[in-house]
Chains A and B, each alone.
Chain A
Amino acid sequence: MGITVSNISKSYKDVKALQNISFDVKPNELFGLIGPDGAGKTTLFRILTTLLIANEGQATVADLDVLKDFKEIRKHVGYMPGRFSLYQDLTIEENLTFFATIFGTTIEENYELIKDIYVQIEPFKDRRAGKLSGGMKQKLALCCALIHKPKVLFLDEPTTGVDPVSRKEFWEMLKRLQQKGITILVSTPYMDEAALCDRIALIQDGKILQIDTPEAIVNQYPKTIYNVSANNMYLLINSLKAYPHQHSVYPFGEFVHYTDTREGFNPEELEQYLEVQNLLNIRIEKTEATIEDSFMELAK
């Protein structure tokens, strides 16, 4: 009932969008595809939702082949594209009724599934979709993708361009949908959202870097990370990058994440070096790796 992808490749002329991608999504799993823009996430979604045909490889969705059984797949999947693509000139209710009708069902039939989400936008049901806020548009799109009670839900960057509060709410909704037995494949460029998935695949330039649970990925991070801060961020980054023993230097909020090439690295040595560079208020502390650090390390 999940998704299997084996050796899928897809090129657009000279650009290799996907190269030999393989992974499995277990039934009832919340699986995340994490990667920057242009990594090939949307291409993969389009292949799995039968909108695009891969050059090579096989894939199944809910035990149905994406090539042979594409008609059957379309009955059982919900797809929410990255771009809001509902009718802006129809109201919330009309959009929902429209999608219910073309899926051959009614709102009432599957109301239970969307109830939690729909009640939040129901007060505005006579408002046109084009006049809704970003968060409400996204809830409407999710309702429309769920109205036929799909077995598998595909969400392509559902939280891009959505405020932090709505993003948090959205992920809570996904968790609840998962409890109702829906397999969810979600893509996002936000590393902090990765931690909310059961398992994630890190993807870049059409290749999968690693697949595991978020915790395992973080635990496999090979080095000790230090949070470094000082009075002048720009000078700090430049100085660290000029330090002969540096392994990686990435700005991370108010800190810089620093790793060293040496085994027995002594932070005081670095502090002295930075003082020579005329930096003040220098602080160096150990910190835990995040998904983002893992991604950067893998993508190196």
Chain B
Amino acid sequence: MRKDYYKNLYSLFYSPYSFKIMRTILFIIQKEFKQIFRNKGMLPIIFVLPLLQLVILSNAATFEVKNIKFSYIDSNHSMSSRALIEKFQASTYFNVLTDFPSEVLASSAMLKGEVDVVLNIPAHFERDLQKEKKAKLGITINAIDGAAAGVTNVYISQIIQSYNKNIQTDLMQFSDMQIRPVNIETIPLFWYNETLNYKTFMVPGILVLLVTMITLFLSGMNIVREKEIGTLEQINVTPIKKSQFIIGKLFPFWAIGMGLLTIGLILARLIFDVPMVGSVILMYSYTSIFILVILGMGLFISNFTDTQQQAMFIAWFFVVIFILMSGLFTPIESMPKWAQNITEFNPIKYFVEVMRMVMLKGSGFMDILPQLIKTLIYAIIMNGLAVWSYKKTT
């Protein structure tokens, strides 16, 4: 009895037919890997460049504004004005470069890009402050980079406020002690990234970018390449099944995507000391589905293009939109409503979310379930479209 059972089971899995199909798929996979590893120009593009990018981008892509080129026009030359400037000198964000004798010189320096901020202290600054309890300061900020200008403005306001507080208390001493202002101090506590380390935030995101870009470009260009060199036609006259060919062609890129994730995670840990709070298995399970979406997209693109160049341009177009709208660099919450709606269709958005949630917050299966389901639906639709549009006959 028992023996028969095993025998049946054996023949089910190792019937000549299914064996033949498996053998064909395995052979295509083997051939694909051979071609990838023989392409001496491609290997560094696949493995070295992305990791270089990870290291460079993670260090460079930061929203912290530092080394602001600061200058001032002091028409007051008083104790108060000097104290204010000292405040700026003490700050690590500002490089106090120079003082200008006139506004004309200051604005020409701003035009040349020598300074980013000009603080104009008017002639009666100290007198106004003491007599009227308020004074005006002129601040000019180079706002070509609006985001940086906004951050700079906040820094300047903070410094002036804290200076003002001191001066207020100084001044108050002479008058009525009873109306001393009550200061409420806030002590922020940053969860999941306590030191507000920008890299902790960026590395998982950039890892997403690399896995996506490489797998999309490679899979998109790969089948077009067979079209270009004419081998696809040769394959189309063979009895090979669509599914066998597609699985055999795309599996290697799935494996490469997973490999990139692995190397990326190791580097994130070793170089950037990014924590891996959540489950690694969960991370990999999600990524394995996500890469299917990207491969489906690559195949879809290659079905509608005739040359690698066309495929590359179309892939680029989508990657740029997906990345800019993924919440990787700019928060989705601050996008207009219509743009937020569009991001719902962006698979990279989900990957970025899941990556950050699992790595930094330690989210579990139930937490990422919505993203997981959406990605899975996406994968089914994309691959369905891709297989449907791949035709052996024209």
Contact = CB atoms under 8 A, between A and B. Distances in A.
Interface of A: 49-53, 70-71, 74-75, 77, 79, 81, 83-90, 94, 97-99, 101-104, 144, 148
A104 B35 contact: no
Contacts, number: 70
Contacts of B240: 102
A75 B239 CA distance: 5
What does DSSP make chain B's interface, helix, strand, loop or mixed?
helix
A51, A71, A103, most chain B CB atoms within 10 A: A51
A202 B239 CA distance: 31
Given A50-B237, A103-B238, A85 B31 contact: no
B45 to A, nearest CB: 16
Contacts of B239: 71, 74-75, 102-104
B237 A74 contact: yes
A51 B31 contact: no
Interface of B: 20, 23-24, 27-28, 31, 34-35, 38-39, 229-231, 233-240, 392-394
B35 A51 contact: no
A92 B31 CA distance: 13
A81 B230 contact: yes
B46 to A, nearest CB: 15
A50, A70, A90, A101, most chain B CB atoms within 10 A: A101
B27 A81 contact: no
B27 A98 contact: yes
Given A103-B239, A104-B20, A98 B31 contact: yes
B37 to A, nearest CB: 10
Contact of B39 (A50, A86, A89, A97): A89
Contacts of A75: 239
A163 to B, nearest CB: 22
B230 A83 contact: yes
B238 A87 contact: no
B31 A87 contact: yes
A88 B229 contact: yes
A148 B239 CA distance: 11
A102 B39 contact: no
A160 B28 CA distance: 30
Contact of B23 (A81, A87, A101): A101
24 contacts: A51-B394, A52-B393, A52-B394, A53-B394, A71-B239, A79-B234, A81-B230, A85-B229, A85-B234, A87-B35, A87-B229, A89-B35, A89-B39, A90-B31, A94-B31, A97-B27, A98-B31, A99-B234, A99-B238, A102-B238, A102-B239, A104-B20, A104-B24, A148-B238
Given A52-B394, A88-B229, A101-B27, 12 more contacts: A51-B392, A53-B393, A53-B394, A74-B238, A81-B233, A85-B231, A87-B31, A98-B31, A102-B27, A102-B238, A103-B239, A104-B239
